[in-house]
Structure 1
Amino acid sequence: MFRRRPPLPTFPTGGFLVGGAARDWLRGVSPKDFDWAVPQPAQAAAQIATQTGGSAFPLDLERDYWRVHAPEGVQHDFVPLPENVTDDLLRRDFTVNALALRSDGGVLDPTGGQRDLKARRLRMVSAQNLRADPLRAWRAARFATTLGFQLDPDTEKEVRAVAGALAAGDLPMPAAERIREELHALLGHPDAARGIQRLEDLGLLALTIPELREGQGLVQGGFHHLDVYEHGLEALHQLLARDPEASLPLRWATLLHDVAKPRTHAVDPETGRRSFHGHDKLGAELTAQMLSRLRLPSDDIRHAAGLVGAHMIHLPATEKEARRFVHRRRELLPDLLQVMLADREAARGPSSSPASRHAYALGMERVLAALEEQPQAPAPLLSGSEIMVLLGLEAGPKVGQAVRALAEAAALGEVADAEEARAFLLDWAGGEACGL
C-alpha cells in the first residue's frame, strides 16, 4: 500500500512533471528532485526560483537545460517540452519512470507504469531501450534496491543479457562516472548490502568491482563464520544498522576492508591454519585502485584507503595507548572505529565470546575518551627551523622524524612547553644516535 499522495507541487506554466518525480508523487512520496518538461525552460526556472526562494542557473545553454536550487535541498530541473510527450516516455528505461503528471493531476501512462507501481514491479519499457543505454542495467539493480520492487522476469533476463553483452564487448561500457553515480545511489540506501548482492546476481558486479568477487567461497576460520565476500556484505549491513548516515567513503571502506584477503591467503602445511598477512596494506592499495577506476574524488579515495589500511590496528589497553592511537590516526577517526566495529560484529563466529566483546568495547571507549579530551592536535611547541638549530640538522628526513616525535610527545602529555620540548628532543636525538 502506498501512502496518501502529497499536495500537487506548483507547476511551471505549460509544464509536465516527468520520470522519477512523477513516480514518487504517485507513490505518496514527496519528491526532492523535480524533473520538468516545459515550453520555455529559462522562464520556467525563473518562475519556480521566484516562488520557492531558490536560485536558477543554466546547465546547458545550447540545449536549454536549467536548474533551480530551492531551500531544504530541493532541486528542479527543466528541459524543453518534446513535440510528443508520449513518444518521449516510450524511450525511457522502466515503466514506473515512463510517467508524466499534468497540473490537473492527470497522468500520461503509455506503458502501464501505474499498474507496475501498485504491484511493486520493475519492468522495462523495452529491451531495445535497455540496450540503447547499458547503464540502465545498473539502474535496474539500483531501483530494485531503493524502491524495494521485484524485477519483472523478462526484465531480469534482459538485464543479464546486457551484462553478458558488456562482458563480451558487444556493447560499450558506460562511462565510469555514470556507473559511480548509480553505485553511490545504491550504496546510499539502508539496504545497500542487498543491493551489492543484486549486482552480483545480475552479472554486473564483475563489470564494476570484480576484486570483491574474489572472496567468494574463501573460508576464513577463527572468529569468522562467513566467507570473505559475504563477510564484507555483512560488515556493510552492520555499519548501516548502527549509522544510517555513514559517509560514502566509510561505506566503501567497510565493504572493501578485506578485499585483499584472497590475494594474501596462505595455509600452514603443518597446522592447516589460514593466514592473510598484509591484507590490510594490500587492501588499501586495491581500494585506491578500484575507487580511482570509478573516478571518486581524491580525498574520498585517500580516506577510504586509509581506513582499509588501518582496520587491523589493535585497540589500546591503557589511557596512554589510547592517546597515542588518537594522535597517529586522528584523521581517520571516528570512522576507523566504525569500520573496526562493523568488521567484528560481522564476524561473530564460534570463537567470539562475551568477554572478548567486552574487552573490545573497553578499547573503543578509551579511544573515544581520548578523542573527546583532545579533539585537535596540540599546537607545535617548536618550529621546524628551531628544531634544526637545536639539533644541528640540515633540511631532510631527520627533521621530519624529530617534528613527529615531538608532536606525539605533546599529544601524550609528556611535554607541555618549549623548555620541556627542547629537553625531550635532545634526549631523543641522543637515543637516535645510539641506535635506540
Structure 2
Amino acid sequence: MFRRPPLPPFPEGGLLVGGAARDWLRGAAPHDYDWAVLDPAEAARTLAAKAGGSAFALDEERGYWRVHAPGGVQHDFVPLPGDLTDDLLRRDFTVNALALTSERRVVDPSGGQADLRARRLRMVSEANLRADPLRAWRAVRFGVTLGFRLEASTEAAVRRVADALAAGTLLLPAAERVRDELEALLSHPDAARGILRLEDLGLLALTLPELREGIGMVQGGFHHLDVFHHGVEALHQLLARFPDADPALRWATLLHDVGKPRTRGTNPRSGRTTFYGHDRVGAELAREMLTRLRLPSATVDRAGTLVRAHMAQLPANEREARRFVHRRRPLLPDLLRLMLADREASRGPDSHPAIRHAYMRAIDRVLAALEEQPQAPRPLLTGEDVMVLLDLSPGPAVGEALRAVAEAQALGEVRTPEEARAFLQAQRAEDSAPR
C-alpha cells in the first residue's frame, strides 16, 4: 500500500519501535528513530562514530541514550524490554504499538497495521490514556498531523480523560509537556482544525481557557464570526498564505483578539459594541498564557508585541508608509502578515471588495517602503553631537532628539549630518517660539 523509504542499518540485535516504525510502515521517512537495543550506550557511541554525530546519556540510571546525527536526525536508544509484547501494549495508540526487526518483520500485538491502512487512531486501552493524560492532547495532534480519524471509543475515552482532569480526579500533565504537543500541533498547516478539535474534546479549557472566553461573543461590523472562531480563522488564513510563519507569529495570530471579551463595552452614542484597548489587554493576556505554557521568553515577547501592535493604522500615502516602516521595523513583515490574516478572517456586513482592496493597497505601500529601505539607515548624529549642538546634559531629551532625527531621516527629510543639525535647530526654535 505504501512505498517505504530506506532505513539506516539496525544496531546489532536492535528493534525499531514506536513512531519511527509507524512512519516507515506508512511510507514516511522518520526524522526521529527510537531503537530498543541490548546496550544503548554502546549502540549510541557506535552510531555517532559512524555517522559523525554526538552521543550523550539522556538518563544514565535507566540506560537511555541519544545521538544527534547530521541533517537534524535524532536517534534514541533504550534497553530491550524483557517482554516486548507487554511493552508495546503499554503504549498510547495501536499505530505506535509496533516494532520492526532488522529482517523487516513487524511485531504488532494490537492491530496497529490495520489501523494504519484505515487511517484510524485507536487507543491500546483507556487505562493507558489515564496512566498518562498527556495522551489526550497527543490524540488531537496525531489526528491532525497524521490525517487520521479518531476512532469512536477512543474519542469517548479522550472526553472522559478531559472530564477527569477538569474535575481534578486526574492530575494535569506538566506544562512543558502540554506545550510540546501544542507547538507540534501549531506547526502543522491544518493547526486551526486542531484548535477546534481541542475545544470539541474539552481540552482547550484545560490549556488556554482565556481563548474560550470569546465563544459566542458576537462582534458584528466587519466580523461574521464570534471572537473565538475569528481567531481560529485568522490562524487558518495565516497558514494558508504564509506556511513558513514562525511560532511567535502563529501564536500572535491565534491570540490577537484574546483581550476582546474583557474589554467589551457599548458606545453610548451609536449603541454599537466596542472593544477599546483590547490590543493592550490582549498583549498582557497572551504573555501570561504563553508564559504559563513555558514557551521561550523570546517567543512570548514577540507574540505579545505583535498582539499589542495588530491594530496599527495602515498608511494612506507613501510618506506615511515610510513612517510606518520606521516605527515598526522590528515587527515587519510579520505584523503585516498578522494584519492581513485578521482582515481576511473578517467577512461581516461592513466588509466588501472595495474596502478589502484599499486594505491591500495600504499593505503594498508598506511593503514598497520596506523594500526601499530594508535596513534602518546609519544615524547621522551621535548623542554627543546632540548634546553639543543643543547644549544638553545626558538625559531623555537627548534620546528624543535622536529619535526625531532618525524619523526625519527615514522620511527623507534629512540626508546629511548638516541637514540633521539644521532640523534640530529649527525644531528647537519652533518649540521656544511664543504661542
Shorter-chain TM-score tier? over 0.9
Partner of 2:58, secondary structure, is strand
Q: Which residue of 2 aligns with 1:355?
A: 354
Tell me, in whole angstroms, the C-alpha distance in 2 between the residues paired with 1:3 and 1:311: 45
2:388 is matched by which residue type in structure 1? Answer: V
Tell me, in whole angstroms, the C-alpha distance in 1 between the residues paired with 2:404 and 2:65: 54
- Going from structure 1 to structure 2, the CA distance change for 1:230 and 1:434 (only over 3 Å counts) comes to farther
Post-superposition Cα deviations, 1:137-186, rounded to whole Å, max 9, x if no partner, equal: 11111111111112122221221111112112222111111111000010
Write out aligned runs for 1:18-167 (5 A).
18-167=17-166
Partner of 1:347, secondary structure, is coil
* TM-aligned CA deviation for residue 216 of structure 1: 0.7
Q: Which residue of 2 aligns with 1:222?
A: 221
Write out aligned runs for 1:317-328 (5 A).
317-328=316-327
* Contact 1:8/1:105 (8 A) holds in 2: no
* TM-aligned CA deviation for residue 428 of structure 1: 2.8
* TM-aligned CA deviation for residue 22 of structure 1: 0.6
Post-superposition Cα deviations, 1:238-267, rounded to whole Å, max 9, x if no partner, equal: 111111121111110111111111111112
* Contact 2:220/2:349 (8 A) holds in 1: no
Q: Which residue of 2 aligns with 1:299?
A: 298
Write out aligned runs for 1:178-189 (5 A).
178-189=177-188
Tell me, in whole angstroms, the C-alpha distance in 1 between the residues paired with 2:305 and 2:319: 23
Moved more, 92-101 or 117-126: 117-126
Write out aligned runs for 1:320-339 (5 A).
320-339=319-338
Unaligned 5+ segments in structure 2 are none
Partner of 1:316, secondary structure, is coil
Tell me, in whole angstroms, the C-alpha distance in 1 between the residues paired with 2:128 and 2:360: 52
Q: Which residue of 1 aligns with 2:14?
A: 15
Tell me, in whole angstroms, the C-alpha distance in 1 between the residues paired with 2:181 and 2:433: 57
* TM-aligned CA deviation for residue 432 of structure 1: 4.4
Post-superposition Cα deviations, 1:168-209, rounded to whole Å, max 9, x if no partner, equal: 222211111111100001001111000001100111101111
1:310 is matched by which residue type in structure 2? Answer: A
* TM-aligned CA deviation for residue 435 of structure 1: 9.8
* TM-aligned CA deviation for residue 337 of structure 1: 0.6
Tell me, in whole angstroms, the C-alpha distance in 1 between the residues paired with 2:434 and 2:251: 41
1:125 is matched by which residue type in structure 2? Answer: V
Tell me, in whole angstroms, the C-alpha distance in 2 between the residues paired with 1:269 and 1:230: 27
Moved more, 248-257 or 416-425: 416-425
Post-superposition Cα deviations, 1:111-157, rounded to whole Å, max 9, x if no partner, equal: 11112112221111112211111111111111111111121222212
2:231 is matched by which residue type in structure 1? Answer: G
- Going from structure 1 to structure 2, the CA distance change for 1:423 and 1:49 (only over 3 Å counts) comes to same
Q: Which residue of 2 aligns with 1:5?
A: 4
Tell me, in whole angstroms, the C-alpha distance in 2 between the residues paired with 1:247 and 1:110: 39
Moved more, 55-64 or 152-161: 55-64
Tell me, in whole angstroms, the C-alpha distance in 2 between the residues paired with 1:50 and 1:193: 42
* Contact 2:224/2:347 (8 A) holds in 1: yes
* TM-aligned CA deviation for residue 3 of structure 1: 2.9
- Going from structure 1 to structure 2, the CA distance change for 1:434 and 1:109 (only over 3 Å counts) comes to farther
Q: Which residue of 2 aligns with 1:240?
A: 239
Partner of 1:114, secondary structure, is helix
Tell me, in whole angstroms, the C-alpha distance in 2 between the residues paired with 1:144 and 1:63: 31
- Going from structure 1 to structure 2, the CA distance change for 1:347 and 1:435 (only over 3 Å counts) comes to farther
Q: Which residue of 1 aligns with 2:314?
A: 315
* Contact 1:283/1:308 (8 A) holds in 2: yes
Partner of 2:345, secondary structure, is helix
Tell me, in whole angstroms, the C-alpha distance in 2 between the residues paired with 1:203 and 1:24: 28
| TM-score (norm: length of structure 1) | 0.96
Moved more, 342-351 or 19-28: 342-351
Q: Aligned pairs, how many?
A: 435
Q: Which residue of 2 aligns with 1:251?
A: 250
Partner of 1:277, secondary structure, is coil
* TM-aligned CA deviation for residue 434 of structure 1: 5.8
- Going from structure 1 to structure 2, the CA distance change for 1:177 and 1:435 (only over 3 Å counts) comes to farther
CA-atom RMSD, angstroms? 1.7
Write out aligned runs for 1:188-203 (5 A).
188-203=187-202
| TM-score (norm: length of structure 2) | 0.96
Moved more, 53-62 or 395-404: 53-62
Unaligned 5+ segments in structure 1 are none
* TM-aligned CA deviation for residue 433 of structure 1: 4.7
Partner of 1:13, secondary structure, is coil
- Using the aligned pairs only, state the percent identity: 70
Tell me, in whole angstroms, the C-alpha distance in 1 between the residues paired with 2:152 and 2:97: 19
